[in-house]
Amino acid sequence: MATEVKRNNWSQFLRRFNAANQYRHAEISLKDKQQEKRMALNETPFLGMTLEKKGRLIGAIQLFAGNVDPDRPSFPVLSIKDPSKITLEKDAEGRDREVTVTTKEGAAVHINLGQHDQSLPEQFVRKVAYTLYERRGRQDGHDQEDWFRAEKTVKDTELDFVR
């Protein structure tokens, strides 16, 4: 069953949605009048969605995935311009299954959520730590320092989407 999210609750909804769904595999499909595009977030973790505001107006909703660059640990995968409606569909157990964002022009972006992968957060930290190791010229002896810095970077990035 799909439930529409009231526009005045979008900010609060996205924070709760992000907290519940970070590190899930996600398949994103965009359907507009001309074509349909699909992309899957399997190698990079889904981190969340944010509102892009123009003053008091909502100009776009951005979808973010993880990035192994410790200076930019998240990147926008898709920007949905002029959103007009958000609907959430849950599965039989009550978990979020799909979010649909419809635009004023009638395009629809569907975010189908896969299972939670308990190993994704650690894999993400490992990749960020390895990037730090490579940036230092692959010098050994700093593995714990790299790991702790990567953990902090990833945790701070996660929190950016739920605050």
Domains and CATH numbers, the chain: 2-119+156-160 (2.70.180)
Q: Decide: 89 and 98 in contact? Cβ < 8 Å.
A: yes
**Is the pLDDT assigned to residue 36 strictly greater than 90?**
no
pLDDT of residue 118: 85
pTM over 0.75: yes
pLDDT of residue 140: 93
pLDDT of residue 116: 80
C-alpha 43/C-alpha 25 separation (Å) is 9
How many Cα atoms sit within 13 Å of 119 on the Cβ side?
A: 3
Confidence grade of residue 128 (pLDDT, cut at 50, 70, 90) = very high
Q: Decide: 120 and 100 in contact? Cβ < 8 Å.
A: no
pLDDT of residue 52: 95
Average pLDDT over all residues of the chain: 92
Average pLDDT on 123-129 reads: 94
pLDDT of residue 35: 75
Q: What would the pLDDT profile of 88-119 be if each residue is shown by its tens digit?
A: 999 999 999 999 999 999 999 999 998 887 88
Confidence grade of residue 40 (pLDDT, cut at 50, 70, 90) = confident
Computed on alpha carbons and rounded to an integer, the radius of gyration of the chain in Å comes to 17
Average pLDDT on 73-101 reads: 95
- How much of the chain exceeds pLDDT 70, in percent? 99
**Is the pLDDT assigned to residue 155 strictly greater than 90?**
yes
